[in-house]
Amino acid sequence: MARRMALNFSKLCALILFGTVAYNEYLVYYIDYYGWPRVSDDACSLLFLADPQIQGNTLEPPGLVGTIQRWDSDRYLGNAYHWLTAKYPSATAIFLGDLLDEGSISSPEDFVEYAKRFKSIFPRYRVKDTLYTPGDNDIGGEGNDLVTLSKLDRFNREFGIKKPVIEACAKLDIVPVSRLTEHGYLNITSKLEFLSKNRTVVVISHLPVLPLNGRFAERVMTDINPDIIFSGHDHHGSLYSGSRTSLKTDREMSLFSKRDDVSPFKVETKTKKSDGILELSERITEIIVPTLSYRMGVKEMGAGLAVFHPETGEMVYHNLWLPARFPLLYSYVASLIVVVLLFIVGKVIDVRRIMRRKVEYQSFSRKKFGALL
């Protein structure tokens, strides 16, 4: 008679849980990591990270639920940053505002605690350099939440911009600006003496600068006259371009999508004249970087990588897409349900096996000792 193969339900349950964790916490990131472009360590590369918005204590549910939500959000951001910086350790990491979800409305004590948490999630030592620009969730400026000097001061103490213009690479300068405030190093006028036509000028802002329909945008274009602009805030990534001289758009804004990704694409920030001298391109481009956080109500998360060639005026931009988190969380729930069902089935089979052996033993006993009774 053929021997039945016994199924070890405990080992099967452990295998399912291990496989789910391994896929959700390692393999799914590695798949995206493998698809990101390779960049030379000598390249002038900028890694853009928009709207991480680590969750606070006030707007999250109280108790265990809020703790778990903050923990999982922090882990996702930390994992994303780990893989991004493992791929691009020689890049300059630029955070495009909204570092903290409750930064503007928090108490001074909570702000310090949030900043400490942020720095543990995004350690600076993993990249060449790190720059931060404030968002409305950090210092106010949205609705009735006003920007104040005290909010600016505490942001600057923890993340502040130390110079009006920052040299990120040879012949490339980063110029932080903000629609929210021009206090301190964000003042546009204070930057003018540090700008040079012989260098590539990259403006960074939390709120988008373009389209050119307001005084702030006109001042950025007239006074700073950047080669290219990067911003966040919208959570969806997009591309905007327009005429530098007429200050008007000449095409529809293009939204980024992981499924139909338009990157990598080139932007000619400068054109070469007949005498070989580079001058600013007639077109001005702004790239809005997707959010890094899965808590922002969008399906697709990502970062941006810009590789500059200042000697030619060329820039190549890549969207670095990240895995969607909610499907992975649902897979955890599904695997737990399967494991519980298998555990129950295993216990039922064990009970039936014990009962069957008991009946077989009783039958054997009757045959062997029946004549003696």
**DSSP labels for 68-130?**
HHHHHHHHHHHHHHHHHHHH-TTSEEEE-S--BTTTTTS-HHHHHHHHHHHHHHS-GGGSSEE
CB contact burial 324-356 (16+ within 10 A = b; e otherwise):
ebeebeeeeeebeeebeebeeebeeeeeeeeee
Instruction: Tell me how many domains the chain contains.
Output: 2
CA distance 13 to 19: 10
DSSP 193: G
Answer yes or no: do 281 and 373 share one domain: no
Answer yes or no: do 366 and 279 share one domain: no
Q: Model's pTM, two decimal places? A: 0.88
Answer yes or no: do 95 and 160 share one domain: yes
Tens digit of pLDDT for each residue in 101-152? 999 999 999 999 999 999 999 999 999 999 999 999 999 988 888 899 999 9
To the nearest 10 degrees (0 to 180), the angle between helices 108-121 and 63-87 is: 40
Question: Could you tell me the CATH number of the domain that includes residue 283?
Answer: 3.60.21
Answer yes or no: do 344 and 306 share one domain: no
Tens digit of pLDDT for each residue in 32-47? 999 999 998 889 999 9
Question: Does residue 16 carry a pLDDT above 90?
Answer: no
Answer yes or no: do 112 and 231 share one domain: yes
CA distance 128 to 43: 12
Tens digit of pLDDT for each residue in 198-218? 889 999 999 999 876 678 888
Answer yes or no: do 64 and 31 share one domain: no
Task: Please answer whether residues 267 and 285 qualify as being in contact, where contact means their C-beta atoms are separated by less than 8 angstroms.
Answer: yes
Tens digit of pLDDT for each residue in 151-199? 999 999 999 888 899 999 888 999 999 999 988 889 999 899 898 888 8
Answer yes or no: do 65 and 165 share one domain: yes
Answer yes or no: do 19 and 52 share one domain: no
Residue at a domain's end among 286, 304, 324: 324
Q: What sign for the dihedral angle of Cα 137, 107, 133, 322? A: negative
CA distance 73 to 81: 12
For residue 78, give its domain range: 43-324
Answer yes or no: do 17 and 132 share one domain: no
Tens digit of pLDDT for each residue in 320-347? 999 999 999 999 899 888 888 877 877 7
3-state secondary structure of 272: strand
Q: Provide the pLDDT confidence category of residue 367 given band limits of 50, 70 and 90.
A: low
Task: Please answer whether residues 263 and 23 qualify as being in contact, where contact means their C-beta atoms are separated by less than 8 angstroms.
Answer: no
CA distance 246 to 90: 38
Answer yes or no: do 273 and 214 share one domain: yes
Question: Does residue 360 carry a pLDDT above 90?
Answer: no
H helices of the chain, in order, are 9-22, 28-35, 63-87, 108-121, 136-139, 149-159, 215-219, 326-369
Question: Does residue 49 carry a pLDDT above 90?
Answer: yes
Q: What sign for the dihedral angle of Cα 298, 300, 303, 304? A: negative
Answer yes or no: do 332 and 262 share one domain: no
User: Is the peptide bond preceding residue 264 cis, with omega within 30 degrees of 0?
Assistant: yes
Answer yes or no: do 335 and 370 share one domain: yes
Mean pLDDT of 81-91: 95
pLDDT of residue 160: 86
Tens digit of pLDDT for each residue in 270-323? 887 656 677 788 888 999 999 999 999 899 999 999 999 888 888 999 999 999
Tens digit of pLDDT for each residue in 241-279? 888 776 666 666 788 988 888 889 998 888 876 566 777
